[in-house]
Amino acid sequence: MHPSTLALIRAAIAEDVGPGDVTSEYFIPAESRSRAEIVAREPGVVAGMEVAEAVFREIDPEIEVRVLLGDGQPFEPKSVLLEARGRTRALLTAERTVLNFLQRLSGVATQTRRYVEAVKPHPVQVWDTRKTTPGWRLLEKAAVKCGGGTNHRMGLYDHAMVKDNHHAANPSLEALQTNIRRLRAERPGTRVQLEAASLDQVRAFLTLEGVDMLLLDNMSVSQLREAVQLVNGRLWLEASGGITLDTIHEYASTGVNAISVGALTHSARALDLALDIY
């Protein structure tokens, strides 16, 4: 597990438990032991099981956890995703933190699966973005993969994307070419992507060397089709901007290679899951 994820888990536990679970301490006998099940109240796709297990371990290393449905698996209402056995107090103390992670991450995976299904039968990848919950990026992007989506860049460090504000601050095409060459020389292997807001920009960027892909931002379906013809397979093409679950199929039919959707992470609804004690 990545150190940042473990730190997030510990912060979440500290936030919820603080100096102790006063309810369980006073109302549950210390010797009581129970079985807990995490049960789905609606359909979805699992994500976050490793985190759920880690939360239980942090609360009480003696809790026994059995994962019944792993990450990426679909489920229906009343499905049991996980079973845990141990001290009743510990199970109840872990309940909300476990559910917060599982509900949020399974919501991202479920949202992603809907978009992935909507582009079929077109061979288009559904990409996430950097529009993630601060501190949760690794987890939310992993959840996107559980839903069948594809991770775009993880951060500002692993993929150069020259967007509209970069162009506005340094609009010269000659300077853009010089900077691409310098990046290629100093950071070989780093992908270079340029954002194009018009077909004229697409034409201009096709004259440059060292570009891997274009982001076609807020273009209409007809403009995307024309851009695909202009590029003719020379560069990878990503479409983005205002594409919804209702419209993504039409955008997928244009011939672009990928469609990025911020809503996979920034607008995913937490699923209705519950922990039942027996």
User: pLDDT for 124-162, tens place per residue?
Assistant: 999 999 999 999 999 999 999 999 999 999 999 999 999
The mean predicted confidence, pLDDT, of the chain is: 96
Question: Is 96 a residue of the active site?
Answer: yes
User: Is 131 in the active site?
Assistant: yes
**Per-residue pLDDT reduced to its tens digit, 232-269:** 999 999 999 999 999 999 999 999 999 999 999 999 99
* Alpha-carbon gap, residue 145 to 42, rounded angstroms: 21
pLDDT interval class at 1 (50, 70, 90): confident
* pLDDT tens, residue by residue, 5-53: 999 999 999 999 999 999 999 999 999 999 999 999 999 999 999 999 9
Percent above pLDDT 90 for the chain: 96
CB 194 within 8 A of CB 209: no
Closest CA to 75 of 115, 103, 35, 116: 103
3-17 and 137-146 helices cross at what angle (nearest 10)? 110
Give rounded-to-5 percent helix, strand, coil for the chain: 45, 20, 35
pLDDT band at residue 203 using 50, 70 and 90 as cut-offs: very high
Q: Among all chains, which residue has been given the structure tokens 């607008």?
A: 267
Residues 152-189 as b/e (b if ≥16 CB within 10 A, e otherwise) read bbeeeeeebbbeeeebeeeeeeeebeebbeeeeeeeee
pLDDT for the residue numbered 187 = 95
Catalytic residue among 163, 182, 191, 234: 163
Which among 131, 145, 153, 225 is annotated as catalytic? 131
Catalytic choice (71, 140, 195, 238): 195
Active site residue 246: no
Indicate if 58 belongs to the active site: no
| Separation of alpha carbons 253 and 178, rounded Å | 35
Q: pLDDT tens digits, residue range 66-86?
A: 999 999 999 999 999 999 999
Whose tokens are 């990450």? That residue is 71
H/E stretch holding 75 reads strand 74-75
CATH number of 3-113+269-277: 3.90.1170.20
Match domain 117-266 to its CATH number in 3.30.420.40, 1.10.150.20, 3.30.70.100, 3.20.20.70: 3.20.20.70
Q: What is the pLDDT, as a whole number, of residue 162?
A: 95
Catalytic residue among 85, 96, 145, 225: 96
Name the segment(s) of the chain with CATH classification 3.90.1170.20.
3-113+269-277
Task: Give span(s): CATH 3.20.20.70, the chain.
Answer: 117-266
Q: Is 203 a known active-site residue?
A: no
